Each structure stands twice: as C-alpha cells, then as structure tokens.
Amino acid sequence: MPKVTLYNIAGEAAGEFELNDSVFGVAYNEAVIHQAVVRQMSNERLGTHATKTRGLVRGGGKKPWKQKGTGRARVGSIRSPLWVGGGTVFGPTPRSYAKAMPRKARQLAVKSALSEKLRADELVILDQIEFDAPKTKQVVKMLDAFKADGKALIVDGGEKAANTILSARNLPGVKALTADGINIYDLVHYTKLFMTKSAVEKIEEVLA
C-alpha cells in the first residue's frame, strides 16, 4: 500500500499516511473516465428546450382564402411552417439526456482518477481542516502554503466541512465539497486535489 506524507494546513509535514492500494493504486482507464464524465454532464442537462409546431402556434384556424379561383397558391393555415410566424418543423422537444452506467464502472472511474492524481503528484493529504467560521482568507493562506496557484479541489470529511465549503466558494478556480460529494468531473477538471484524512477514510470505505 502506498504511503504519502501527511500535511497540516500550514504546509508542514505531520507524519505519514497509508493509502488503500485498491483505491489509489488502480491503473489509468481513460475510456471509463471519459464515459463517466460524459454521463455526469449529460445527466446535468435539463432538457427543457421546446419549440412550437404548427398545431401549437396561436392562430391560423381559419383558411385564409378559398381553395380555387384566386390564382394564388392553396393555403390551409397562416401558421404553416412556410409562413413567417408559423410553426417549427422538427424542432427540439423536452426530453431527458440521462445516461446509464453500471455502479462498478462509475466507481472504477473515480478510483482511476484518484490513482492518477497520486501518480502525477497532484494529491495532498491533510490531517484536518478545522475552520471555526467561514473565512476566505484561511483557504487562500492554505493554498499559498502549498503554492497551489491553479485550479484546486478541496475534499473535507470533517465535522466543520460546511465552513470549508463556504470559505472556498468565493475563490475563482477553487471548489470545496464533502467526501460524499466527490465526483468524476471535478476530479478531472481541477488540477490540485486536497483531501483530509477523514475524507480519504470515508472514500476508501465506500470504494475499497
């Protein structure tokens, strides 16, 4: 099982921490990760788009002129798709974009992404994050201690995780969430991953 350095929020080493090999030692599987990301993005689509066909557009119930004898083209309704203000042909209608994916495949994608973060040296394990109150300055100070100037994801499994989430939400390129909210899109999207020891333990309990 891989051992990593355990840090405090000041960026100082606070010991060692052993990771579960079945979660953080999985081979990189690009196909499964891609499938999981596409699924998550598709499931977030509302699918509420809609256009009106000629039967839904208001008006046009009366035939504009008689069928024969006028010399004009025959028309049954002024709401024909050929007319300005008419209906739309083959327009989008409300639908679901939800995609199905086996639970084990979704878990494999998360484990593969976590393992790749560890191999790329983009994973930092913290002993704990204990913010007594929401304060953006505290998150900025923590990120500066690790020289994390890019996109950062913070996963907190402690009792005061709500304060961590509120402290990070005003920072561009930084996101904080709880251990049960970890998802494949955020793991791929954010460069640096900060996880508390308690968050790792909770994730290993589910995925191992």
- pLDDT tens for 130-189 read 888 999 999 999 999 998 888 999 999 888 889 999 999 999 999 999 999 999 999 999
SS (H, E, C) 10-55: CCCEEEEEECCHHHHCCCCCHHHHHHHHHHHHHHCCCCCCCCCCCC
- pLDDT tens for 61-116 read 999 999 999 999 999 999 999 999 999 999 999 999 999 999 999 999 999 999 99
- pLDDT category, 1, cuts 50, 70, 90? low
- In the numeric block, the tokens 């998550």 are attached to 40
CA 197 to chain centre: 23
Which pTM was predicted?
0.84
Instruction: Count how many Cα atoms sit within 13 Å of the Cα of residue 204 in the half-sphere of its side chain.
Output: 17
Q: Are 165 and 156 in contact (CB under 8 A)?
A: yes
Q: Are 116 and 159 in contact (CB under 8 A)?
A: no
